[in-house]
Amino acid sequence: MKENFLWGTATASYQCEGGWNEGGRVPSLWDIFLHKNNLENGNVASDHYHQYKEDIRLMKEGGHNTYRFSLAWPRIIKNLQGEVNQEGINFYHNVIDECLANGIEPFITLFHWDLPQYLEEIGGWASREVVAAFEHYAAIVFKEYGDKVTYWTTFNEPRYYVFSGYKIGNYPPAIDDTQLTIQASFYMMLANAKAVKQYREMGQNGKIGIVHSYSPIFGIDDSLETKIAMRNADNYFNNWILDTAILGEIPVDMLGRLHEKYDLSFMKTDDFKTIKENTVEFVGLNYYARALIRPYSGGETILRINNSGAEGRGTSKVVVKNWFEQVWDPTSEFTEWDTEIYPQGLYEGIMMAYRKYGIPIYITENGIGMYEDITVESIRDEKRIEFLNDHIDAIQRAVEEGADVRGYYIWSTMDLYSWKNGHDKRYGLVAIDFENDCKRKPKASYYWYKQVCESNGKTIERKREYDSNFVSL
Ligand code: BGP
């Protein structure tokens, strides 16, 4: 990799911090939703709120030079009036200072899904008022931390958040409403542009981008029907985030189709102007798997996600009526949560994104969720090592072909709360004993990754042949 390549790991506030009612933090929509429905929650999570120094020490000893994490909006802004919680502000000063003292570059996300409940109560992201609240929150944190932090991203995975909450209904606010899905999507992208604008107007010296849940699109063949389905799928999965944030343009063919059935009058001329004029300068791509697409063959929309691991194996299904269907290649390998293991998709995906957008790319999440016995003396997570090796190799292949990739973050730093999958789906390089004061224990992958970071990728082995018979966009 090039000099100064960022090698690190990633977390999100709600998933790792715990301390849900400490330090003046107010509830987020996740606290309320999970408590009310009696579901596994992140009250304690990995106890990072109390053990962040130990975590940062482990990062340093593990050879990392960066850490991607998010700020919890409910720790920072107390209420609808926008009052600041000084204790929350201080907490993140401490985390950032600890990173800097250990040679770890902070890479900060403003919103990784923990919306304050008081904003959910006024309509959440489907309401325009939340855009103004986000601008206020962003201005406070840019002013506080702007001189210490170079890398900022506005949102983590707007697509995943909006579809899960407003259409699939497995995340809060847990509804199925296409009109609100469109509104929430639009307001998030508008909030992204407004935060970018503000960052620049405040004369900040760092860089600002957005993080997207990237599903590179592949087709089952190269017929015209498949090509059309692939374009629809690309709009659904990727373009409405990437085109909007990077090019300042919401795909017009998608807007045209939505306009036939839904009310888009809430989108104002000024909004389009703001979006056009305030685009991001880099993009973070989270890669877990590609999306293999075939033409729509009939029936209602089905969006089914496996949140129960081995038990629900093979139950994932995505059909978007009149748009496309997703298929799972039976010859491929999958995790217990139905995620395809397909490193080639990362290579192709980077090349597609780089050719189309030409801006710097950071791979802001990549990793594998597994059931693991962490009570053993040494945790030999060979499967994870193989997975990471092959994905880093995919990035190196793209870099060799000219793609400008500047950083890589493994999801996740330590085991943490995996949203609706609970704590059993482990992603960390460091094990967390959730039953025992969240004691930390590095896995074999942690030591393996240390060598990768310290050699700047030279210890990665090229083990896979790539298939040249795929059909991409
Ligand atoms: C991404 C999110 C993360 C993380 C990861 C793994 O979509 O940005 O917050 O959770 O996916 O997903 P999961 O925990 O559902 O397995």
Per-residue model confidence as pLDDT tens digits over 189-237: 999 999 999 999 999 999 999 999 999 999 999 999 999 999 999 999 9
List all residues 6 or more positions away from 100 whose beta carbon is below 8 Å from its beta carbon.
Answer: 106, 148
Q: Is 160 in the pocket of ligand 1 (CB under 6 A)?
A: yes
List all residues 6 or more positions away from 361 whose beta carbon is below 8 Å from its beta carbon.
Answer: 282, 283, 284, 285, 350, 353, 354, 403, 404, 405, 406
Q: What is the CATH number of domain 6-217+233-282+338-472?
A: 3.20.20.80
Q: Which residue has the tokens 């120094």?
A: 53
Q: Is 286 in the pocket of ligand 1 (CB under 6 A)?
A: yes
CA of 286 to the centre of ligand 1 (A): 9
Q: Whose CA is nearest to atom 13 of ligand 1?
A: 418
Helix, strand or coil, per DSSP, at residue 403: coil
Q: Is 91 in the pocket of ligand 1 (CB under 6 A)?
A: no
CA of 256 to the centre of ligand 1 (A): 31
Each residue's pLDDT tens digit, 339-372 = 999 999 999 999 999 999 999 999 999 999 999 9
The number of CA neighbours under 13 Å toward the Cβ of 217 is: 25
For 260-418, list the strands marked E by DSSP.
282-287, 291-294, 302-304, 317-320, 324-327, 333-334, 340-341, 361-365, 405-411
Dihedral sign from CA coordinates of 114, 115, 121, 127: negative
Going from N- to C-terminal start, the domains of the chain cover: 6-217+233-282+338-472
Whole-number percent of the chain with pLDDT over 90: 94
The number of CA neighbours under 13 Å toward the Cβ of 218 is: 20
Residue 128 structure tokens: 């325009």
My answer on whether omega of the bond before 412 falls inside 30° of 0, hence cis, is yes
pLDDT (0 to 100) of residue 204: 94
The number of CA neighbours under 13 Å toward the Cβ of 104 is: 30
Averaged pLDDT, 271-293: 97
- Catalytic position from the list 311, 365, 435, 465: 365
Please answer whether residues 164 and 171 qualify as being in contact, where contact means their C-beta atoms are separated by less than 8 angstroms: yes
Kindly report the pTM of this predicted structure. 0.97
Please name the amino acid found at residue 23.
G
Q: Determine the Cα–Cα distance for residues 33 and 422; give it in Å rounded to an integer.
A: 14
Distance of CA 206 to the CA centre of its chain: 21
365 is catalytic: yes
